[in-house]
Chains A and B, each alone.
Chain A
Amino acid sequence: MARAARTALLAMIATLIAAWVLFPILLISLAAFSSRAQLYSWPRAIVPTPPTLDTILFFLRAQGVWQSTLNSLMVALFTTVLAVAIGAPAGYALSRFRFPGREGFRIGILATKMFPATVLAIPLAVAYIRWGLYDNLLGVAIVHTALALPFAIVITTSVFVGVPAELEEAAMTLGCTRLQAFLRVALPIALPGLAAAAIFTFVLSWNEVFAAAILTLHNRTLPALLINAVAFAGAPLDYRFAGGFFMIVPALVIIFIIRRYLMTLWGVTIR
């Protein structure tokens, strides 16, 4: 009896949380397929009849959208390359070796999440102007890398923990050097997991607003362009909804694809 009640309560809470996340996404998606007239009419229909692509097309034709999308892609790619190049070796080391300061390092990774970006914004902007990185896509990518690294390291650690060290040792007894053993055995097996880490990093960068908005002026990434349009330029509703939809979809699709890895990362296994 008590058990059934607990299950019911748990299900209710889970439903509430899911609704809290999913409902806005649903509304934005519906709105993105409504025409401008529908969006401004009152009372507004929740489900667009008929659904239309006008709003999405209007957004895609708006000034700066394609350039910003391209910028976002560039930044996200830079970030992914940097974060994996730095994070994967760190993850490998954490999964394989016991070294002095290992625990400190693990906590240190999380400590980078201690400072809110708002606190760092002004000093970061000043430093960037000084270094000539301001309004530079590479500069944005560097900040995104710093933001993504904790995740990249944690994910790659769990990926390499999943590759038994004995496999590499077996390769070494068969004539491989340490590096060869890694490249020929550990890396191919870890590749799907590393890809998941890379994709996660990509999404993180793709969706990042704050640093991108502060550190760019002309070379806006897509989120920076949108936040500027929404907050300061008073963009029309259809632009907002279409923009929101355009931001959400890649993230959703990607998270869906790599959810298995994220689950194992969080210590849950679903089969």
Chain B
Amino acid sequence: MATVLLDRVTKRFGRITAVDGVTLEVQDGQFMVLLGPSGCGKTTALRCVAGLERMDAGRIVIGGEDVTDRQPGRRGIAMVFQSYAVFPHMTVRDNITFGLRIRKAPAVEVLRRTQQAADLLQISELLDRYPAHLSGGQRQRVAVARAIVMQPAVLLMDEPLSNLDALLRLQMRAELKRLHRETGATTVYVTHDQVEALSLGDRIAVMRHGVIVQCDTPSAIYNRPASTFVGGFIGSPPMNFFRGTVEEGGRSVRVAGTAIGLEPRWAGAEGMGPGSEVVVGVRPEAFEVMAEARPGALPGVVVVVEPLGGTTLLTVSVGGETAKVSVAPDTDHEPGQRLWLRPLPDRMRLMEPGQGRALIPTEGGAHR
């Protein structure tokens, strides 16, 4: 087992800087997810850790050792590729034993570990088949087995579930989580799927334009996004954003003509001067939905009602903007209906309108 450190890693492709001075520390045994839209540099960062890209600057340290100049095979890593990269000209067994054979592991050891890996991924029946005769999900299992049979200190995964259909993805996701618990390998996992990131990660590093914009626990990322980008990228549907103006010295914010009361901790915070423009971020489930006008509640009109089974999703028009609101499934709503939305004060997030950076409430402001 080992820690992983990306130390000011930079990688350019021609004039494009794919990874721009990224520093990231992954604790021993941690499941770290690199999350971001396509082209954000997450895969390139992972490939730098693997040693598949030559970096323009920075170091990779694995288990306390600088491995920057080491070949991929000498870094104590194993990798699962998005395309699986299962060797088509070898049986499943030969695929799984490939790395051990390259390392010249003793035959008994090879046999034992292969069986163990095959059992863990439930592919013992498939060992003598060729990849051409496997389904996508089975190939995926072979790719994972081939990686964990190496008992790597660090397991790298590049969008391993993105080529599976929805049901299989759900199943494999849980299996990967179980696998991580059982092997305990430090894992760096790349995905653009925020649900995957939230469900798998101990930590999530959200990337954009080659830099990490926020690295935190899934719940912190979800509840306290560091910017409008993170709030808008994570969550399905994403966070709602309303433009507002600070009033009463930071005790309330006026959105679409309605003054919404804020928690006292916002008073006097940076960017919260009277008359300041702010962006108010509210998760779809962080509204109190009311049938009649109340102070601090935004008036709106239901546009679309989407029952999703577990919840019902409302699209509500609020003063020219649309908001997504999730409500309990047994509530009665229909298009055209008027309702009032009161954002829960403790779940509101305020951002500055320029870069979309989250504003930080004053410490202890709540006790004032």
State how many angstroms separate the Cβ of A72 from the closest Cβ of chain B: 34
Report yes or no: B73 in contact with A173, Cβ–Cβ below 8 A. yes
Report yes or no: B79 in contact with A170, Cβ–Cβ below 8 A. yes
List the A side residues contacting B51 at CB < 8 Å: 172-173
Given contacts A164-B83, A180-B102, contact A173 B77 (CB under 8 A): yes
Report yes or no: A173 in contact with B72, Cβ–Cβ below 8 A. yes
Q: Chain A 153-180 against B: per-residue CB contact (8 Å), 1 yes, 0 no?
A: 0000000000010110111111111001
Report yes or no: B85 in contact with A172, Cβ–Cβ below 8 A. no
Q: How far is the CA of A66 from the CA of B96 in the complex (A)?
A: 52
CB of A142 within 8 Å of the partner chain: no
List the B side residues contacting A195 at CB < 8 Å: none
Q: How far is the CA of A169 from the CA of B79 in the complex (A)?
A: 9
Report yes or no: A188 in contact with B73, Cβ–Cβ below 8 A. no
* A189 in complex: contacting residue of B71, B88, B102, B147, CB < 8 Å: B88
Q: How far is the CA of A122 from the CA of B50 in the complex (A)?
A: 56
List the B side residues contacting A172 at CB < 8 Å: 51-52, 71-73
Report yes or no: A174 in contact with B73, Cβ–Cβ below 8 A. yes
Report yes or no: A170 in contact with B81, Cβ–Cβ below 8 A. yes
Report yes or no: B102 in contact with A169, Cβ–Cβ below 8 A. no
CB of B188 within 8 Å of the partner chain: no
Q: Chain B 217-249 against A: per-residue CB contact (8 Å), 1 yes, 0 no?
A: 000000000000000000000000000000000
CB of A185 within 8 Å of the partner chain: yes
Report yes or no: A164 in contact with B73, Cβ–Cβ below 8 A. no
* B87 in complex: contacting residue of A173, A177, A180, A185, CB < 8 Å: A185
CB interface residues, B 61-87, toward A, < 8 Å: 71-74, 77-79, 81-83, 85, 87
Q: How far is the CA of A176 from the CA of B72 in the complex (A)?
A: 8
Q: Chain B 178-194 against A: per-residue CB contact (8 Å), 1 yes, 0 no?
A: 00000000000000000
List the B side residues contacting A180 at CB < 8 Å: 102
List the B side residues contacting A188 at CB < 8 Å: 89
A170: nearest chain-B partner, CB-CB: B85
Report yes or no: A174 in contact with B150, Cβ–Cβ below 8 A. yes
Report yes or no: A176 in contact with B102, Cβ–Cβ below 8 A. yes
CB of B99 within 8 Å of the partner chain: yes
State how many angstroms separate the Cβ of B229 from the closest Cβ of chain A: 30
List the A side residues contacting B150 at CB < 8 Å: 174-175
Number of chain A residues whose Cβ lies closer than 8 Å to a Cβ of chain B: 17
Report yes or no: A175 in contact with B102, Cβ–Cβ below 8 A. yes
Given contacts A174-B102, A174-B150, A176-B102, contact A169 B85 (CB under 8 A): yes
Report yes or no: B81 in contact with A169, Cβ–Cβ below 8 A. yes
Interface centre among B74, B78, B102 (most CB of A within 10 A): B102
List the A side residues contacting B88 at CB < 8 Å: 167, 189
Report yes or no: B85 in contact with A175, Cβ–Cβ below 8 A. no
Report yes or no: A166 in contact with B89, Cβ–Cβ below 8 A. no
Report yes or no: B89 in contact with A173, Cβ–Cβ below 8 A. no
Q: How far is the CA of A106 from the CA of B245 in the complex (A)?
A: 61
CB interface residues, B 135-160, toward A, < 8 Å: 146-147, 150, 156
Q: How far is the CA of A237 from the CA of B102 in the complex (A)?
A: 63
CB of B98 within 8 Å of the partner chain: yes
Report yes or no: B81 in contact with A166, Cβ–Cβ below 8 A. yes
Report yes or no: A189 in contact with B89, Cβ–Cβ below 8 A. yes
Q: How far is the CA of A173 from the CA of B99 in the complex (A)?
A: 8
Report yes or no: B78 in contact with A173, Cβ–Cβ below 8 A. yes
B99: nearest chain-A partner, CB-CB: A174
Q: How far is the CA of A181 from the CA of B146 in the complex (A)?
A: 15
A168: nearest chain-B partner, CB-CB: B85
CB of B367 within 8 Å of the partner chain: no
State how many angstroms separate the Cβ of B74 from the closest Cβ of chain A: 8
* A174 in complex: contacting residue of B82, B89, B146, CB < 8 Å: B146
List the B side residues contacting A170 at CB < 8 Å: 79, 81, 85, 87, 146
Q: How far is the CA of A169 from the CA of B51 in the complex (A)?
A: 10
State how many angstroms separate the Cβ of A189 from the closest Cβ of chain B: 5
Interface residues of B (CB under 8 A from A): 50-52, 71-74, 77-79, 81-83, 85, 87-89, 98-99, 102-103, 146-147, 150, 156
Interface residues of A (CB under 8 A from B): 164, 166-167, 169-177, 180, 184-185, 188-189
- Can you list 21 pairs linking A and B with CB atoms under 8 Å apart? A164-B83, A167-B85, A170-B79, A170-B85, A170-B87, A171-B98, A171-B102, A172-B51, A172-B73, A173-B77, A173-B147, A174-B73, A174-B78, A174-B98, A174-B150, A175-B74, A175-B102, A177-B73, A189-B87, A189-B88, A189-B89
Q: Name the 10 nearest CB pairs between A and B, nearest first.
A: A174-B99, A175-B73, A170-B85, A175-B102, A166-B85, A173-B79, A172-B72, A173-B72, A188-B89, A166-B81
Further 5 A-B residue pairs, CB within 8 A, beyond A172-B52, A175-B73? A166-B85, A170-B85, A170-B87, A174-B146, A175-B150
